[in-house]
Amino acid sequence: MNEAPGAAHEPHAHRVKRLHMRAMRRGIKEMDIILTRFADARLASMDNEALDRFDALLCENDQDLYQWVTGQTAPPSNFVALIAEITERAHGEN
């Protein structure tokens, strides 16, 4: 997984805030809404491994993310569980 510069030494609260901002400013409005809803609900309680995975997901192309979240294409295996959780949150489940 690609790690953001300094992520290993970044305080949890700062990392959550940074990732939340990245989730909000995707470029595709639908992904902004979907990822912001997820970030609001889950980021603060995520451990470092989960934050690493979310950070890596945010490095992916919005077109791909949108297709994964909407079920148009299958996500890569390393993102399957995270995409499922994001999709559940987007549909108001949990």
20-52 pLDDT tens trace: 999 999 888 999 999 999 999 999 999 999 999
Tell me the CATH number at 15: 1.10.150.250
The pLDDT assigned to 93 comes to 55
Residue 5 falls inside a structural domain? no
Question: Is 24 in contact with 39 (CB distance < 8 Å)?
Answer: yes
In whole angstroms, what is the distance from residue 69 CA to residue 82 CA? 10
The pLDDT assigned to 4 comes to 55
- Six-digit token pair at 76? 């890569």
Question: Is 26 in contact with 35 (CB distance < 8 Å)?
Answer: yes
In one-letter notation, the amino acid at residue 74 is: A
Whole-number mean pLDDT of the chain?
Answer: 89
Q: 3 pLDDT exceeds 70?
A: no
In whole angstroms, what is the distance from residue 71 CA to residue 30 CA? 14
Task: State which residues form the domain around 82.
Answer: 11-90
The pLDDT assigned to 51 comes to 95
Domains contained in the chain, number: 1
CA distances from 79 to 6, 9, 70 (A): 23, 24, 14
pTM of the model: 0.85
The pLDDT assigned to 8 comes to 64
Residue 1 falls inside a structural domain? no
In one-letter notation, the amino acid at residue 68 is: W
Q: 94 pLDDT exceeds 80?
A: no
Closest CA to 58 of 92, 87, 24, 91: 24
Residue 19 falls inside a structural domain? yes
